[in-house]
Amino acid sequence: MIKKVGMISSYMALESRADWLWQQTPHPFGTWGNMQIQALAEKPDFLLMYQFDFPQSVKQLSLLDRLRKKQKQPELNIYKLLRDVKQERTIYLLREPPLDEIVEMNKRNYQQAKNYCGYISGPDNFAPTPDYMPAIWYHSNSFKDLNEMPSPEKIAICSWITSGIKRTANHRERLNFLQFLQSSGMQIDFYGRGLQKWVKTSGELGNKWYGMAPYYYNLAIENYAENDWYVSEKLWDSLLAWCLPIYYGGSAADKLLPPGSFLRLPSLDEKGIAYIQEITSTSDAWYAAKDAITEARQVILHKLNLLNWLSEFVTQFS
C-alpha cells in the first residue's frame, strides 16, 4: 500500500507547492516505490519537516522583538502543522549548512525537533543524526529524460550559476572570488539572481538546465566547505546537466560519487584561478571524465534522490 508523505518547510516558495519533487520520479504525482510525496496532504502517513525553523521562545528574542511580539498573532501551533502524524513517523531534515551566522539557530531547531520528530538529521556534527542531505535538483526536465538522455551537445566551455547574496562571510568570500575570476579574463559565463552591477552577467535563468547543459564545465562552489557532511544541489545540478563540475566543497562528495566524476577546486584564490584556467583551456578533462559522469548521474537519480531516501525510511514501518 502506498503511504503518503506530507511536508512542511520554512522556505516560503514551498508553502503551497502541491507538486514539490514530482519531477524527481518517473511516476505520476510524486510516487516512488512504496511512498508518495504529497506535501499538502491533510492526513499523511508520514511528515517531512524540511528545513523548518521553529519559532524562537520569548526568552531568546531581543527586547525590541519582544515588544513587537506582543502585537503579533498568537503563537504558531506546531501540533496543528503536524496533522496528527505520530512522532516516530515525523522526519526532520535540516538543509542549511552550519555557517557561523546561523549555527546557533540550527542547534535550537534540533533541540525543538526532539519534541516532535522521531528522526532528526542535518549536514553537521551538531545533528542528532549527522548525515548528508538526500539529493534534490533544480532542473525542470522529467525524470525519464534525465535518466535516458545521452549527453547534450557541448558548445561552450564553462559557466557559473550563483547569486549576489552577501549576508554571511562565506557568501562574501564567494563574491570576492567571482570578482577575481572575472578580472582574469577567462571564458566563463556568469548567470544568477541579484548579482552586483559589476558582474558581467548573462542574466537570470528560469531553468538552470539552459545555463549548464551546453557547457563542458560548471563551477559548483558551495557556501560551506568545512565539514564531512555538507553537499548541495550545486553538484547534483551540474552533473545531471552532463557538465564536469569544478567543485569547491567538503569531503561528502567523495563518499557519495564515483571517482573522477568531478574535479576539486583547490581554493578560492590565485591557486584556484590558475587551476580553472588550466582545466578550461581544453575540453580534454570532460572527455576523460564522461564515463564517470554517466555513472554519477545514475547514482544521483536512483540512490541519492530524496524520494528514494523517503521510500527507504517508510519501508522500516512496513
Report which secondary-structure segment, H or E, holds 314.
helix 306-315
Q: Tell me the chain's radius of gyration from C-alpha atoms.
A: 21
Q: Specify the pLDDT at position 245.
A: 98
pLDDT at 224 over 70: yes
Average pLDDT rounded to a whole number, residues 260-276? 97
What number of other Cβ atoms are within 10 A of residue 196's Cβ? 11
**CATH 3.40.47.10 is held by the domain 143-303:** no
Which of 52-66, 146-160, 269-283 bottoms out in mean pLDDT, i.e. has the lowest? 52-66
CA 63 to each of CA 60, 68, 192, 234: distance values in angstroms, whole numbers, following the listed order = 9, 9, 37, 39
Average pLDDT rounded to a whole number, residues 22-31? 97
Where does the pLDDT of residue 318 fall: very low under 50, low under 70, confident under 90, or very high at 90 and above? confident
Where does the pLDDT of residue 75 fall: very low under 50, low under 70, confident under 90, or very high at 90 and above? low
CA 176 to each of CA 126, 168, 172, 308: distance values in angstroms, whole numbers, following the listed order = 29, 12, 6, 37
Which of 49-58, 123-132, 290-299 bottoms out in mean pLDDT, i.e. has the lowest? 49-58
C-alpha cell at 139: 532542473
Q: Specify the pLDDT at position 63.
A: 43
Topology (CATH) of 3-131: Rossmann fold (3.40.50)
Nearest CA-CA partner of 316 in 118, 127, 128: 118
Q: Specify the pLDDT at position 61.
A: 44
pLDDT at 62 over 70: no
CA-CA distance, 280 to 215, in Å (whole number)? 11
Share the mean pLDDT of the chain: 93
Domain with CATH 3.40.50.11660 in the chain: 143-303
Please give the backbone phi and psi of residue 103, each rounded to the nearest 5 degrees, phi first. -60, -35
DSSP assignments along 143-166, one per residue: HHHHHH--PPPP-EEEEEEEE---
Hey, CA dihedral for 241, 243, 247, 251, is it positive or negative?
positive
Where does the pLDDT of residue 77 fall: very low under 50, low under 70, confident under 90, or very high at 90 and above? confident
CA-CA distance, 246 to 277, in Å (whole number)? 11
CA-CA distance, 46 to 295, in Å (whole number)? 32
Q: Across-strand partners of 36?
A: 4, 31
| Maximum distance among all Cα pairs of the chain, rounded to whole angstroms | 63
DSSP assignments along 40-81, one per residue: T-SS-SEEEEES--PPPPGGGS-HHHHHHHTTSPSPP-HHHH
Q: Specify the pLDDT at position 234.
A: 97
Which of 41-45, 59-63, 217-221, 269-273 bottoms out in mean pLDDT, i.e. has the lowest? 59-63
CA-CA distance, 176 to 168, in Å (whole number)? 12
Average pLDDT rounded to a whole number, residues 7-16? 94
Average pLDDT rounded to a whole number, residues 178-199? 93
Which pTM was predicted?
0.92
CA-CA distance, 102 to 98, in Å (whole number)? 6
